């Protein structure tokens, strides 16, 4: 599969004629190749977006919402293809690719279409004037998306961005280009005006060239914290509008009055969904001392019962990690955990059939006995690796939960909702769930504090980020 850039409504080879291989995480085999885009590819994609902007941004919002619906309809028709490509490209189980990636990608376009159709300008009256607040397009957007939820996160940005009248250049992760290409095929098929959505593939140059381009007006980036810092460095001096969704080191806090069975299920899912490669995953599990042993026995049993293997098997719970370097990084944290004095409660290499031996495999790993200040307990690992810690009071649980430079998400498990709320309000984070995890409502703000990022997307926050307000004040007679 040789993928191409999508610029001005055309699939294009890179100017350099340079390509890079794309590998299957589960077998290590080559799936295909993508263009290694350079300056000319990025510049022509940005120029295409810029030339499409005046006409696109002057359409009625309801007309743009119609386009989002057309894209959603076409994507829905390719539901199974999305799931298969996403599973192949990321190594995630097909059941997850269906229930999350394929389903939510369609849902994102539908959700933002409805919001944009229903949105009204705000009006403020005074004794002698009327203020009308209009939301206008910002301009040309750079949308940079990661490899863990490729189409889900791309659709989460493209839909509100073009819905609010911007035109965009997308840069998907070089590790997972397949469903971004599928979205371009959909956009081509429905006949979206050329230049409204463009895409450049690449590695090592395209992303930074895009964010540094003077004709880019806004940057929405989801990915690692250190890359986020570089994005901010190049975008901020040019005063580009910036949204950064970065890493997390989220706590799952288990109180002794929780429903143990439901909590074990929830904490297992929060820890290991998508092989722990979700920025919202609960990778530090804090357990009230009085139930520590009982919880651990049930938790270890639950984790060890997960089936790991062929992502295309309907019964698989855990697939492969995204790449060899990423597997090495996560395995490095296992070695570090031992150096830091931790005990590996469960983990290791899974036993797999011969055809999967070239893939990036690791069993879900639980580490106990680490200090709460240790590197393994405070740094983002982004894999099937969790640390467990005891606490004796609400105060101590809150202190441990806040003991990291990240502040993205978290979950609290308790039979006392009042306590759940009280504790939630003291965790320095952007999102927190009580007795559930990743229970998404697309209307709520998504994003983090501290090193987890800048700004919020989701619902009206996305519409706000992808627009500029204009206040028109009309003086009455
Ligand atoms: P990142 O996800 O951090 O970023 C890679 C992407 O950023 C590529 O598309 C790259 O394009 C682009 N990029 C790199 N430098 C710049 C720049 N200066 N300006 C603009 N774009 C740039 O990298 P990794 O895939 O290596 O992931 C690293 C870590 O990030 C993971 O180990 C994990 O901890 C975390 N992560 C977090 C995610 C989240 O959802 N918060 C998702 C995925 C990873 P190009 O090379 O062409 O410039």
Q: Cα(21) to centroid of ligand 1, in Å?
A: 18
Q: What is the position in ligand 1's atom list of the atom closest to the CA of 147?
A: 43
Q: Which residue among 86, 245, 331, 340 is the active-site one?
A: 245
Residue nearest to atom 16 of ligand 1 (CA): 208
Ligand 1 mean position, distance from CA 426 (Å): 30
Q: Is 279 labeled as catalytic in the residue annotation?
A: yes
pLDDT, tens only, 288-335: 999 999 999 999 999 999 999 999 999 999 999 999 999 999 999 999
pLDDT in tens, 48-107: 999 999 999 999 999 999 999 999 999 999 999 999 999 999 999 999 999 999 999 999
Q: Which residues contact 339 (CB under 8 A, 6 or more apart)?
A: none
38 lines ligand 1 (CB under 6 A): no
C-alpha–C-alpha distance, residues 462 and 455, integer Å = 10
At residue 475, the 3 state secondary structure works out as strand
* Those residues with Cβ within 8 angstroms of residue 174's Cβ, 6 or more apart along the chain or in another chain: 20, 22, 34, 201, 202, 203
**Which residue's CA is the closest to the ligand 1 atom numbered 35?**
224
Protein residue with least CA distance to atom 42, ligand 1: 223
462 lines ligand 1 (CB under 6 A): no
Active site residue 281: no
- Does the beta carbon of 209 lie inside 6 Å of ligand 1? no
pLDDT > 90? residue 1:
no
Asked whether residue 134 carries a pLDDT value surpassing 90, the answer given is yes
The Cα 82–Cα 90 span in angstroms is 12
237 pLDDT tier (thresholds 50, 70, 90) = very high
- Ligand 1 atom showing the smallest separation from residue 245 Cα: 41
The rounded percent of the chain whose pLDDT value lies above 70 is: 100
473: left (phi over 0), alpha (psi -120 to 50) or beta: beta
The finding on whether 163 has its CB within 6 A of some atom of ligand 1 is no
pLDDT reported for residue 119: 97
User: CB–CB of 387/337 below 8 Å?
Assistant: yes
Contact 195, 215 (CB under 8 A): no
- Confidence (pLDDT) at 477: 80
Does residue 145 have its Cβ closer than 6 Å to ligand 1? no
């Amino acid at each position: 599969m040789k993928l191409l850039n999508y610029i001005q409504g055309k699939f294009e080879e890179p100017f350099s004629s340079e390509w890079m291989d794309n590998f299957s995480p589960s077998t290590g085999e080559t799936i295909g190749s993508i263009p290694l885009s350079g300056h000319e590819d990025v510049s022509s994609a940005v120029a295409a977006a810029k030339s499409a902007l005046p006409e696109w941004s002057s359409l009625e919002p309801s007309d743009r919402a119609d386009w989002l619906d057309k894209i959603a309809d076409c994507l829905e028709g390719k539901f199974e293809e999305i799931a298969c490509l996403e599973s192949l490209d990321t190594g995630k189980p097909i059941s997850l690719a269906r229930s999350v990636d394929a389903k939510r990608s369609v849902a994102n376009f539908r959700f933002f279409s409805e919001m944009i159709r229903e949105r009204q300008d705000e009006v403020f009256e005074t004794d002698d004037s009327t203020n009308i607040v209009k939301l206008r397009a910002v301009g040309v957007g750079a949308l940079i998306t990661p490899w863990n939820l490729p189409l889900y996160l791309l659709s989460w940005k493209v839909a509100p961005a073009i819905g609010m009248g911007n035109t965009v250049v997308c840069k998907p992760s070089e590790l997972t280009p397949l469903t971004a290409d599928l979205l371009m095929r959909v956009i081509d098929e429905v006949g979206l005006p050329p230049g409204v959505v463009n895409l450049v593939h690449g590695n090592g140059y395209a992303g930074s060239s895009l964010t540094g381009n003077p004709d880019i007006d806004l940057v929405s980036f989801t990915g690692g914290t250190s890359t986020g810092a570089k994005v901010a460095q190049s975008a901020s001096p040019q005063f580009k509008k910036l949204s950064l969704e970065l890493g997390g080191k989220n706590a799952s806090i288990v109180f002794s009055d929780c429903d143990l069975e439901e909590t074990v299920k929830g904490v297992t899912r929060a820890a290991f969904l998508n092989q722990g490669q979700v920025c919202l995953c609960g990778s530090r599990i804090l357990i009230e001392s009085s139930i520590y042993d009982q919880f651990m026995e049930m938790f270890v049993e639950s984790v060890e019962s997960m089936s790991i293997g062929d992502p295309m098997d309907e019964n698989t719970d855990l697939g492969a990690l995204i790449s060899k370097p990423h597997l090495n990084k996560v395995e490095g944290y296992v070695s570090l955990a031992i150096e830091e004095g931790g005990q590996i409660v469960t983990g290791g290499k899974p036993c797999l059939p011969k055809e999967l031996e070239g893939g990036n495999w690791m069993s879900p790993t639980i580490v106990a006995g680490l200090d709460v200040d240790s590197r393994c307990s405070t740094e983002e690992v982004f894999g099937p690796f969790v640390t467990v810690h005891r606490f004796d009071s609400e105060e101590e649980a809150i202190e441990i939960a806040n003991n990291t430079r990240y502040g993205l998400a978290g979950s609290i498990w308790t039979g006392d909702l009042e306590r759940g709320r009280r504790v939630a309000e003291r965790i320095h984070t952007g999102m927190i769930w009580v007795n559930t995890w990743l229970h998404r409502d697309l209307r709520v703000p998504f994003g983090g504090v501290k090193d987890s990022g800048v700004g919020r997307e989701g619902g009206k926050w996305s519409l706000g980020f992808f627009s500029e307000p204009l206040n028109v004040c009309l003086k009455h007679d």
